[in-house]
Amino acid sequence: MDPIVTTEHGRVRGRTQDGVAVFRGIPYAAAPVGPHRFRPPVAPAPWDGVREADVFGPTAPKNPYPPPLDRLLPDPEVAGDGCLNLNVWTPDPGGAGLPVMVWIHGGSLRYGSSAVETYDGGAFARDGVVLVSVNYRLGIEGFGVFPDAPVNLGLRDQLAALAWVRRNVAAFGGDPELVTVFGESAGAFSIAGMLASPRSAGLLRRAVLQSGVPSAVSPARARRTTRRVAARLGVPATAAAFAAVDRARLLRAQAAAVGGSPLGGGVGFDLVVDGEVLPEDPARALAEGRAGEVELLLGTTTDEYRLWFVPSGLIERITPLALRLAMVRFGIRGRTAAVYRANRPGAGPGEILGVLATDLLLRVPLNRLADARRAAPAATYFYEFGWPSPVQGLGACHGMEIGFVFDTLRTPATLRLTGPGAPVGLADAMHRAWVDFAVTGDPGWPAWDGSRPVMTYGPRGPVVVRAPRDDERRAWERRGR
C-alpha cells in the first residue's frame, strides 16, 4: 500500500520504491504567480482529501544550460506555476527520530532543480536518513534587485522550505532537531547565506558546503544585472514592469544579458546584503563567529575549473598573454603564479590559469573559513574530491563529486560526467561519510586544526592528507594575491 502522510496543509500520498517511501512535488509555499510574484514566499492554500505526491513538481522558470554544458549537465524542466515544492525520501514514514538531510541544488542561481536524477535520495533513505530536496526561484525572479520588491527571494524560499521541514518532517519519521543542510556550488553559498542569516536560527544543526564559499554583494552591485535585463526588455527596472512581461520573453532577455561562469567571471546573480535576511556579508559574519555552534563540512574538487575550461576548448585558447592579463584583472602576483608553475612542469597557460582561479575563488577562501572557525565550539571538517573522470578530460571537475555523495553512479545523469567506470567503493565511502556527519557530526576523519587534515577522495581511495599543496596556499597568504 502506498504511504500517506499528514502535513500541516493536508494529506499527501507517496510511492514505495526500492523499499523506501518517496513523496514528490509537495508545495511548501504558494505558487509565485499573480500577487505572489516578486514577493516573499507565503504558505500554500490547504487542500482537502489526499494529494498525490508521485511525480516531481514544477521547476522554477529557467533557461537550459548553454552548449557544451547542456550535454554534460541534464536539467529537467517540469511545467507549471507551483515551483516552490520539495521532495522527501524516508525509510519509515511511521518512524521517529531519524536524521534529516536537506539538499539545495546548484546552478549559478539560474539553472537546476531537484528533479535531476543524480539527486535521487533513495540511497540516503536506505541508510536511515530522511532526505529532502528543494526547488526555489531562480534567475531574475529569485535574485533580481528592484526598488519595489524585496531582495533575496530565492534565499527566502530556501529558508521557507527549511521552516517547513522544521514543522513537518516528524510526520515523515524525521527529527526536526537533527537537520543537516547540504548543497553544491550556488547551493553551497546559499547555505552560507543561511548560516549568516538570523532567520535560520533553530532550523539546522549541521551544514555541508560543496564547492561554494560565503559570498554576497551590495544591492547597488546586484542591481546592475537587473538593469541589463531591463535594457534588453526595454522596460523600467522595476518588479511591476517585469511582472507584466511574458515569462518566455523575460527568460530570453535574461539569457542574452547574463553569462559567464563562476570561475571565469561575467554578469550573474548573487546573494545581497540587505540588512534584513542578510544583515552583513556572510564571509565576514562566519569568519567572526556566526553559526559557530553549527558543525561544518566543506571542501572542493581538485580540478574545479575543468568543467568550464575543457569542454569549451577554452583551456587551449588561453595564451601566455591572456594568462598575464587575467592575473592583472584578479590581482594575482607573479610570485604566486610561479609556485604553481614550478609544481606543474609542462603545464600550459590555460591549466595554470584554471588552478589559480580554483584556488583564488574556492580553495583558499574555504581554508580561511576553516582557520577562522578553529576556536568555534563546533568542529569543522575539510575534504577534497580528486577522482579524475576520463570523460572529455574533465578530471575531478566542478560537480563531479555529487553522484558519489548521493551514491547514484548508475543513473544516466551521473554517467554523463563520470562515464561507466567510476569506482563504486569510492562512492560508498563518500556517501557513508556524509551520512555519518548527519547522524553524529563526525564524517570519520580528524577535525580541522593546525595540521590542516583533508580527507581526499581520489584514485587511491579515501586518504587523509595533512596540508595538501600547502606551498601554494601559503603563496597567497604570504603575499596576498
Give the residue numbers annotated as catalytic, written as ranges: 185, 304, 398
Report the 10 Å Cβ neighbour count for 412: 9
Distance between CA atoms of 333 and 324, rounded to whole angstroms?
10
Q: Residue 206 in 3-state DSSP?
A: strand
Radius of gyration of the chain (CA): 22
Q: Position of cell 577535525?
A: 447
Distance between CA atoms of 457 and 256, rounded to whole angstroms?
38
Which residue, among 19, 80, 79, 87, has the nearest Cα to 53 in the 3D structure? 87
* Per-state percent for the chain, helix, strand, coil, to nearest 5: 40, 20, 45
Which residue, among 80, 95, 116, 112, has the nearest Cα to 20 in the 3D structure? 95
Calculate the CA dihedral of residues 183, 250, 216, 38 and round it to 10 degrees. -90
CA separation, residue 242 to residues 151, 153, 223, 231, 250 (Å): 14, 15, 14, 11, 8
DSSP code string of 12-35: EE-EEETTEEEEEEEESS--S-GG
Cell digits of residue 109: 542561481
Phi then psi for 200, rounded to 5 degrees? Answer: -90, 0
Q: List the alpha helices (DSSP H) in 146-185.
A: 153-168
Q: Position of cell 598575464?
A: 324
Ramachandran area for residue 81 (φ above 0: left; ψ -120 to 50: alpha; else beta): alpha
Cell digits of residue 391: 570523460
CB contact at 8 A, 107 and 211? no
Cα-Cα end-to-end distance for the chain = 61
Cell digits of residue 298: 566543506
